[in-house]
Amino acid sequence: MKKTTYLLMAVISALFVLSWILKAGSLSGETDNYVIQGFLITFSAFLTLSVLSFLYADNPLYKFAEHLFVGVSAAFWMCMGFWTTIVQNLIPRLSDGLSSFFEVPPQPGDYNFFFFIPVILGILLLMRLSPKGGWISRWPLAFIIGTTAGLNFVRYLRSDFIKQISNTFVPLLGTEWQGIGHFFSNLDLSASGQLVTMAANWVIFLGVFCGLIYFYFSKEHKGAFGAASKVGIWVLMLTFGASFGYTVMGRISLLVGRITFLFRDWLEIIS
Amino acid sequence: MKRQIPLFITFFVGTLLIFSVFIPPMETLGENFTLFFDIIAVFAFFLGAGNLVRVHVSKLRKRKADWGFSIVTLIGFGFMLFVGLLKIGNPGGIAADVTAPGSWFQEMFNYVINPLQSTMYALLAFFVASASYRAFRAKNREATILLMAAFVILLGRTPLGMMLTAWIPDSLSIFQIPNMAVWIMNSFNLAGQRAILIGISLGVVAMSLRLILGVERTYLGGDDSG
């Protein structure tokens, strides 16, 4: 490493320690674990700034944060899987001894011999790490694929196909006629805004219909079919634009959250 | 046999789950198989973790580029695993939830994973803004529609959008930008999403059938021996 890198690391370390001391000092009257809390808040701020430093260029601080994230989150999901799935759902069904060790009392009728199947398949999956026995890991993989295919076949047909089509057939001429004056005068989003509700229903019905026509490639998009397909593209463009705007706002909300953390929880500049 | 047995397992499990929908006593089969799936997925996490350790230890041994950062990954992984599996610092001991408030595991999530994860996602706001500046040009009608929809949604979710159209009376509130954003989300966006969802569902059903019937075999890998 270069001399400047060492110098930079020393400066960052000194700033970190200084921030830790100051933060712990400010928390001393509020909590008993003020030294640990001070460290955690300072470390969290350091990680936030390290990730944001990528906006300038790829650098060792960002790499540190990135590598730490990979290691910690892998262990996090592994532990969550172990405690929530293996201990809570598997062990009470297989062993009384292990259940009492982990203090998860088995419910009556919980014992189920068939739950040895996923354990065996899970162990077979680990054979992938073995150079010679790797092929046997295809069995649990086949089970996973079969389960996903079988469940998705029914689930998608029910919720994303039949239900979505059923919900597209909405009243196009309104349900309660309250007079022409009321119909045109109320352009709000409340239930009484009949024109707005009706327009939305027309947009949904025609939008889905034209959108599906656009995705139908077995017939040339010409004439009336082509016109409907064109409307379908416009509806899809509006959808993509709306989704884009929504996603960007979500990301900006996260950024605001992080900046709030830095200025309120760490630096205590804002209240 | 290396290919025939997995194909048979996929066919058997897939068909069983589809038929279980039509046979009332077998209705719980789907729930049990989902649980089986989750249990195998945990073993897959173990496999992934083992692989992660193997890759980084190998990088360390061979002193490859940026090997020093592999130490960070391994220490982070080891520490989190130690704290999580043994429930170190958990106020309620082994019987309490691993994510109990105040536990070391939960503190690691709050002060390490959460800031890293949300800042990584927040970072995308800058890249999306930069990319959209270059890509969002009203070159044709479709691009203009996309641009306008995005603009209304972005403006509608900020105080500026409310301020700009606050003068519009309540009876015409649909023309207020935040309400227009809501209306676009509930009508045009819903219609487009629904058309896409219907297309996706047909795709998933077709792919599920291909997998169950053994037409699609790419998940078995390239080795044809046996």
DSSP A202-229: HHHHHHHHHHHHHT--SS---HHHHHHH
Q: What is the pLDDT of residue A271?
A: 79
Instruction: Report, in angstroms and rounded to the nearest whole number, the Rg of chain A calculated over CA atoms.
Output: 29
Shortest Cα distance, chain B CAs vs residue A226, angstroms: 15
Question: B41 touching A, CB under 8 A?
Answer: yes
Task: Decide if A51 contacts B52 (C-beta within 8 A).
Answer: no
**pLDDT tens digits, A188-236:** 666 556 778 888 899 999 999 999 999 999 999 999 999 999 999 999 9
DSSP chain A: --HHHHHHHHHHHHHHHHHHHHHHHHHTTT-TTHHHHHHHHHHHHHHHHHHHGGGT---HHHHHHHHHHHHHHHHHHHHHHIIIIIIIIIHHHH-HHHHHHTT-PPPTT---GGGHHHHHHHHHHHGGGSTTTGGGGHHHHHHHHHHHHHHHHHHIIIIIIIHHHHHH---SS-SS---HHHHHH--SSSTT-HHHHHHHHHHHHHHHHHHHHHT--SS---HHHHHHHHHHHHHHHHHHHHHHHHHHHHHHHHHHHHHHIIIIIIS----
**Is the pLDDT score of A50 beyond 50?**
yes
Average pLDDT over residues B50-60: 94
Task: Give CA–CA dist A192/A189, Å, rounded.
Answer: 8
Looking at chain B, which residue has its C-alpha nearest residue A44? B111
Q: What is the pLDDT of residue B53?
A: 94
Q: At what angle do helices B29-61 and A138-155 cross, to 10 degrees?
A: 130
**pLDDT tens digits, B165-222:** 989 887 778 888 998 999 899 999 999 999 999 999 999 999 999 999 999 888 887 6
More confident residue, A186 or A57: A57
Q: B177: Cβ–Cβ under 8 A, 6 or more apart, which residues?
A: B152, B155, B156, B161, B162, B164, B165
Task: Decide if B123 contacts A69 (C-beta within 8 A).
Answer: no
The SS3 of residue B89 is coil
Task: Give CA–CA dist B185/B172, Å, rounded.
Answer: 18
**Is the pLDDT score of B161 beyond 70?**
yes
pTM: 0.85
Specify the long-range contacts of residues A24-32, CB closer than 8 Å, at least 24 apart. A26/A268
Looking at chain A, which residue has its C-alpha nearest residue B82? A75
Question: Is B172 in Cβ contact with A150 (below 8 Å)?
Answer: no
**Is the pLDDT score of B52 beyond 60?**
yes
Question: A72 touching B, CB under 8 A?
Answer: yes
Looking at chain B, which residue has its C-alpha nearest residue A91? B39
Half-sphere exposure in the Cβ direction for B157 (13 Å, CA): 21
**Residue B40 φ/ψ, nearest 5 degrees:** -65, -35
Is the Cα torsion angle A17, A22, A23, A27 positive or negative in sign? positive
In this prediction the ipTM stands at: 0.85
- Among the ranges given (A32-36, A148-152, B62-66, B134-138), the one the predictor scored with the smallest mean pLDDT: B134-138
Which chain A residues touch B106 with a CB distance below 8 Å?
A: none
Task: Give CA–CA dist B180/B82, Å, rounded.
Answer: 52
Question: B182 touching A, CB under 8 A?
Answer: yes
Task: Give CA–CA dist A249/A255, Å, rounded.
Answer: 10
Question: B27 touching A, CB under 8 A?
Answer: no
Half-sphere exposure in the Cβ direction for B55 (13 Å, CA): 13
Question: Residue A152's closest CA among B17, B36, B38?
Answer: B17
Domain boundaries, chain A: 3-136, 164-266
Q: What is the pLDDT of residue B65?
A: 86
Q: What is the pLDDT of residue A1?
A: 63
Q: What confidence tier does A174 reach under pLDDT thresholds 50, 70, 90?
A: low
Question: A62 touching B, CB under 8 A?
Answer: no
Task: Give CA–CA dist B67/B70, Å, rounded.
Answer: 5
Question: Is B200 in Cβ contact with A156 (below 8 Å)?
Answer: yes
Residue identified by tokens 């939830």 is B97
User: Hey, which bits of B100-186 come out as E strands?
Assistant: none
**Helix, strand, coil proportions of chain B in percent (round to 5)?**
75, 0, 25
Instruction: Dig out the tokens for B5 from the structure.
Output: 């047995």
pLDDT mean across residues, chain A: 88
Q: B196: Cβ–Cβ under 8 A, 6 or more apart, which residues?
A: A211, A236, A239
Specify the long-range contacts of residues A136-142, CB closer than 8 Å, at least 24 apart. A138/B2, A138/B3, A138/B5, A138/B6, A138/B220, A138/B221, A139/B5, A139/B6, A139/B9, A140/B40, A140/B43, A141/B6, A141/B219, A141/B220, A142/B5, A142/B6, A142/B7, A142/B9, A142/B10, A142/B13, A142/B219, A142/B220
CA dihedral of B65, B71, B72, B73, whole degrees rounded to 10: 90
